[in-house]
Amino acid sequence: MSEIILGKYHGVGNDYLIFDPKKNDVVLNERLIRQLCRRNIGVGADGILYGPVMEDKKIKVRIFNPDGSEAEKSGNGIRIFSRYLKDAGYVKERQYYLTTKAGETLVTFLDDAGNCMRVDMGYAVFEAEQIPALGFEGEVVGESIFFCDNFYNATCVSMGNPNCVIMLERVDREKALHLGPYVENAKYFPNRINMQLCQIVDEKNIQVEIYERGAGYTFASGTGACAAAAASHRLGLVEDAVTVHMHGGDLFIEFEKDGRIFMTGPVVYIGKITVAEQFFA
């Protein structure tokens, strides 16, 4: 046994720990992930980014939620891990491809320090089978779905991970905390689901509150921002460029003519953390 060295970063308030297997000889397991992510008696984070892992000469990151479950994709996680790769000297190019469980993603650094990035997030998929969402056929767009105590106007979107966007006239943290557990664990979603409560401010701005699978209420989410923007765009409520305002800050989402989605946002380096051996022994 030996101590653990972690990096900590945040993207618009969505914070992650970096666990680099090249710098640690401790095995990262579910119990340790839960311990490290707990805010009062651990280090505290919305998740852990494990890597770099090299597969077929490609750089891969594994994304873990605070409950130890593995996520397919994370928009803020992709930006944060990219900044770490730059800081640690693994990546020197202006553009590179990062592989997640959901596939390859092109990342472009917009400055030399890696403070801001534009990420190709791929395409939004609304097909029930792809999300998956049981009991629906075709696209799940603007459906009236029952959660907890009422019917809600919901659009389900896969951004490589499953999302349920609920359109409301007004969103707030309390509503997200109340509704989130019911949506995440609803019978329609066999793999559970991330929830975004979405309020249209105008054709260029939306306000979003987020409750994530395995993490609970979060200040921000990159894939969540893309999902909420994609649902709003699909419903004809916003233009091709949208600023998504979240509790932790803003992300800029753009839609190409073919539907491809790009996300632009910042990353902040918080620091290096050394975890004592007796903490996890």
Binding residues for substrate: 14, 65, 75-76, 161, 194, 212-213, 222-223
Beta bridge partners of 105: 98
Torsion of CA 100, 103, 109, 113, to 10 degrees: 10
Which pair of structure tokens corresponds to residue 14?
């969505």
Residue type at 117 in one-letter notation: M
Radius of gyration of the chain (CA): 18
Which pair of structure tokens corresponds to residue 15?
């914070």
**What DSSP state is assigned to residue 69?**
P
CB neighbours of 275 closer than 8 A, spacing ≥ 6?
Answer: 3, 4, 5, 6, 36, 43
Q: Is 76 exposed, middle or buried (0-12, 13-18, 19+ CB in 10 A)?
A: buried
CB neighbours of 154 closer than 8 A, spacing ≥ 6?
Answer: 140, 142, 143, 144, 145, 147, 164, 165, 166, 167
User: What residues form the annotated binding site?
Assistant: 14, 65, 75-76, 161, 194, 212-213, 222-223
Cβ(35)–Cβ(6) below 8 Å: no
Whole-angstrom distance, CA of residue 233 vs CA of residue 229: 6
**Residue in the block written with tokens 């890597």:** 51
Whole-angstrom distance, CA of residue 180 vs CA of residue 15: 20
